[in-house]
Amino acid sequence: MIKEIGQKVFYEIDTGHILVSHPSVKGDEAYVKERPLAEIIDLYPVLRDRDQASFDVIELNYGELDEDFAQSSEQWVDPVTKQLKFVYRDPNAPEEPPVFRKPLTEEVEELKRADIENKQAIAELTMMIAAPQA
């Protein structure tokens, strides 16, 4: 049986700066085991050597936001919302300052939902206009 373990993103609570991104893993469950957070923290000196109250972790599902991490040039965690934010640099304007935004995968899903809602509204209006007037 195949086991999938998602990425773990450790970040500074005060600033949102990402300290470590522990990679996701997929493989035979005989070899792939979920590690306790304490064991993962011990792997990284940047985590092990600091006060654990100064950082937090976001645990992602396997494959979640992989495309956003691959396409973005920078990542950050909003300290207020605890949501990951990404910078997608415009190759035509690389000198522009970075603007952190939510994952493009989320934006695409929101646009798909809005498109469906708009199509439904247009269909309803078309039905109302085409209905015989009494």
Give residue 97's pLDDT: 77
The C-alpha atoms of residue 131 and residue 128 are separated, in whole angstroms, by 5
H and E: helices and strands count for the chain: 4, 7
Half-sphere exposure of 64 (CA within 13 A, CB side): 13
pLDDT, one tens digit per residue, over 39-66 is 999 999 999 999 999 999 999 999 999 9
Give residue 134's pLDDT: 62
Q: Percent of the chain scored above 90 by pLDDT? A: 57
pLDDT, one tens digit per residue, over 79-96 is 999 999 998 877 787 777
Query: How would residue 25 be classed by pLDDT, with cut points 50, 70 and 90?
Result: very high
Element (H, E) at 116: helix 104-130
Asked if 70 and 56 count as a contact pair (C-beta separation under 8 A), the reply is no
Supply 129's token pair: 């206009």
pLDDT, one tens digit per residue, over 29-38 is 999 999 999 9
Give residue 127's pLDDT: 83
Give residue 73's pLDDT: 86
**pLDDT higher than threshold 80 for residue 132:** no
Give residue 108's pLDDT: 84
